[in-house]
């Protein structure tokens, strides 16, 4: 019986058939083979066609306004046969999709190095703490401690800038920011650092000519 063998990919459980540790390994490699075959098919189809096909982009919310529109307009003007499919989300949601081959590239803030993932800087986005001009913070020169009593609008935990901000308060033995508004869709989410915007893609994955051209155009944009 397949489920009874110690190296079987399947086993019987209380809720039915499930994957064994061996099964999870087989599933991982089966997915990789499928993505490699799809990449090979796309690359062969692209031979002689120039800039054409679909570019699958994962992108963080702020870059959808400041970075992508102009680059997308130029690409579509240069290559009318190209189509774009975008998925907007945070890095912790987009990166697994990139890793599994569901996205061609991810445009996001700089991430920790990861085996099999290549990053290329396309812009530097200066982000600062933002408040009303009438806010009491502007009565002097505020320190990090002065920010503690105030409420914030931030990205959810897991976003690189949110994690950096939380850890910055931790390192100074200060309470973390009091988050009043937590959203992935705010266009200007406060933080304390200047960060780089990067395009990431799978190290050995296929990048179509259209995808490569879009990366070039993204790098040519000026983030305000």
Q: Using one digit for the tens of pLDDT, what is the confidence trace for 125-181?
A: 666 777 777 888 888 888 889 889 988 888 788 776 777 788 889 999 999 988 887
pLDDT tens-place string over residues 106-122: 988 777 778 888 888 88
pLDDT of residue 193: 40
Q: What is the pLDDT of residue 58?
A: 93
pLDDT (0 to 100) of residue 188: 45
Mean pLDDT of the chain: 77
| pLDDT tens-place string over residues 65-94 | 778 888 999 988 888 888 899 998 888 889
Residue 94 token pair:
């987009």
What per-residue string of b and e applies to 83-95 under the rule 16 or more CB within 10 Å gives b?
Answer: eeeeebbbbebbb
Residue 224 has pLDDT above 60, yes or no: no
Question: Residue 101's CB: how many other CB atoms inside 10 A?
Answer: 18
Which one, of 135, 121, 122, lies nearest residue 190 by Cα? 135
What is the band of 212 on the pLDDT scale with cuts at 50, 70, 90? Answer: confident
Helices (H), 87-159: 91-99
Name the more confident of 95 and 7: 95
Report the percent of the chain where pLDDT is more than 70: 76
If you ran DSSP here, which 8-state letter would residue 145 be given?
Answer: G
Domains and CATH numbers, the chain: 18-124+197-219 (3.40.190.10), 136-182 (no CATH)
Spatial CB neighbours of 31, under 8 Å, sequence gap ≥ 6: 100, 101
pLDDT at position 106: 92
What local confidence, expressed as pLDDT, does residue 6 receive?
Answer: 55
User: Distance between CA atoms of 215 and 209, rounded to whole angstroms?
Assistant: 10
Q: How confident is the model at residue 3 (pLDDT cuts 50, 70, 90)?
A: very low
What's phi and psi for 85, nearest 5 deg?
-130, 120
217 against 130, higher pLDDT:
217
**Higher-pLDDT residue of 223, 221:** 221
pLDDT attached to residue 170 = 92
């Amino acid at each position: 019986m397949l489920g009874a063998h110690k190296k079987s990919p399947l086993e019987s459980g209380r809720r039915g058939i499930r994957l064994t540790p061996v099964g999870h390994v087989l599933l991982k490699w089966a997915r990789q083979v499928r993505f490699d075959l799809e990449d090979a098919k796309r690359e062969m189809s692209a031979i002689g066609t120039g800039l054409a096909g679909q570019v699958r982009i994962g992108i963080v919310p702020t870059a959808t306004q400041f970075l992508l529109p102009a680059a997308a307009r130029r690409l579509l003007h240069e290559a009318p046969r190209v189509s774009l499919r975008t998925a907007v989300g945070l890095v912790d949601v987009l990166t697994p999709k990139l890793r599994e081959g569901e996205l061609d590239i991810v445009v996001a803030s700089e991430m920790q190095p990861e085996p099999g993932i290549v990053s290329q800087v396309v812009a530097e986005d200066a982000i600062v703490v933002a408040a009303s001009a009438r806010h009491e913070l502007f009565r002097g020169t505020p320190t990090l401690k002065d920010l503690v009593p105030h409420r914030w609008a931030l990205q959810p935990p897991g976003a690189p800038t949110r994690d950096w901000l939380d850890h910055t308060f931790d390192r100074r033995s200060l309470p973390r920011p009091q988050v009043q508004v937590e959203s992935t869709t705010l266009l200007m989410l406060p933080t304390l650092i200047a960060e780089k915007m990067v395009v990431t893609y799978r190290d050995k994955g296929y990048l179509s000519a259209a995808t490569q051209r879009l990366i070039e155009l993204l790098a040519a944009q000026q983030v305000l």
